[in-house]
Amino acid sequence: MNYNMVGDAIVKHCGGLANFIHVTNCMTRVRMTIADPSLVDMPALKGIEGVLGVVEDDTLQVIVGPGKSSKVATVINERLKGAPAVDTTLSGVEQKAKLAREKAKKQTRTKVILKHIANIFVPILPALIAAGILMGLNNVVVNSAASWAMSHHIAAVGDLSPTQVVLDQRHLLGVSQFLDIVSKALFGFLAIYAGITSAREFEGNLILGGLLGAITIMPQVTTLGLIPGQGGLIGVIFAVWLMCLLEKQVRRFVPDIVDVVVTPTVVLLVMAAAQLFIIMPAAGVVSNGILHALNGLLEHGGIAAGFVLSALFPFLISLGLHHGLFPIHLEMINATGHAPLFAIQIMSNAGMVGAATAVLLLTRDPVMKKIAKGAIPTSILAVGEPTIFGVNIPAGFAFITGSIGAGFGGVMIVLLGVSTNGVGAAGLSALPLIADGKYLQYILAWLVGCAAAFALTYVVGKVRGYDKEMA
């Protein structure tokens, strides 16, 4: 892909540089805050070579695929830095942006909440994936050593446990300790990172947001009858949201000359007290309730729950809401060490790959064939957006049949008892995240979801005459 050409084309079809307010990216999408949406040429934007799809929301999201979104976003941001200031149109741009924000407020409250949570976790996601994979690799090494130590009756030596003795014999003890340090540096301080990105999302002081997150994981909270991490990330996000509201109100009344001293002090004092004595206990009750409800659903809902949850997840991806469930996954890992819901949901990847493969074989459109050939390997290895937006949604029926096929993958996940001890990755890159060494079971579930989606899509495509349609 020529990133400069794609970036320039996006700028052109979005109304020029003056129409951009903010540009960022996630794993697969360039996310743009546009001042005047009426200036965006959607057909032309979707027609740019390399663009897999476009999602219209409070931000305009152009899907270009993993590894490409950051490069395209960088090109656009470089153009924005070099653009001359246009003072005469600034007020008009701000007014249009305000109207866009007012329009966004009319969305359902649930959707708004999920979008905020998604925006909070998008910057953390690359680190989550990397640390999760490293943790998974370390688990493979440690579990293998533990199994060997148990079966061969290895005894402890000095300060080394039997497992560590085996690791040392294999010259892997240092490697295991290194991987453990790196992964725990992410998961052990995730409350701080979430506090910082929450403050950015809600337009408050970033370090104060991180400080509120740090308070929740301090060992000293036990002296107040609390448990470190109680309330999880849900409590942190809620506390930072309140902090940002309070910070804005305090600044209205504090004189400028003492603002830098008084405002952060008052905000920290009030919010730290609220965090420790109200939010953490209350969020703990909410988190426990959510976990019990989900565990009950998975335990009593069985394969039906697995089918429905996997089949619905592609729709969350298509709306850009899928990252909104990360606090739940992470809280499940924090409480039980496993995230069974995440294992169910990433079966959507299998369904989308199966459906896209069927479309590749059925279509007579050379452009669609080219897109599918590029999207399918990417989705097998990692994320499903390329096949969702580049192949299955344009084909129409394939998105539905792919989602149904994903449901069968979810059924297998439940039947085989597959779970994860990390989040973020999908497809084959999720293998290191699979808990309890159930790698073959995960692959089997993935293949079942893929095969079911392929069969459904191929049959429906034949019945609909999709294989006879010309470009």
CA dist list (Å): 312 to 12, 161, 345, 347, 422: 35, 45, 8, 11, 21
Give helix 280-318 / helix 397-416 axis angle, nearest 10°.
130
Phi-psi region of 86 (alpha: psi -120 to 50; beta: other; left: phi over 0): beta
| H/E run at residue 259 | helix 256-274
**Euclidean distance between CA atoms 8 and 29, whole angstroms:** 16
Q: What tokens were used for 205?
A: 């002081």
- Order of strands across the sheet that contains 60-63: 20-25, 29-34, 60-63, 53-56
CA distance 236 to 194: 7
From the list 14, 26, 244, 450, the catalytic residue is: 26
Instruction: Return the residue matching tokens 């008084």.
Output: 262
- Rounded distance between C-alpha atoms, residue 229 and residue 217, angstroms: 5
The amino acid present at 185, given as its one-letter code, is: A
Q: Kindly tell me the sign of the dihedral angle through the C-alpha atoms of 267, 270, 272, 275.
A: negative
Residue 159 phi/psi, 5° resolution?
A: -85, -5
**For residue 221, what are its two tokens?**
């909270």
Residue 14 annotated as catalytic: no
- The answer to whether 320 and 115 have CB atoms below 8 angstroms apart is yes
Instruction: Report how far residue 332's alpha carbon sits from residue 69's, in angstroms, rounded to the nearest whole number.
Output: 30
Rounded to whole angstroms, how far apart are CA atoms 457 and 208?
51
DSSP 64: -
SS (H, E, C) 342-359: HHHHCHHHHHHHHHHHHH
Task: Judge whether 65 and 76 are in contact, CB under 8 Å.
Answer: no
Q: Single out the residue of 466, 294, 293 nearest to residue 396, CA to CA.
A: 466
Residues serving a catalytic function are 26
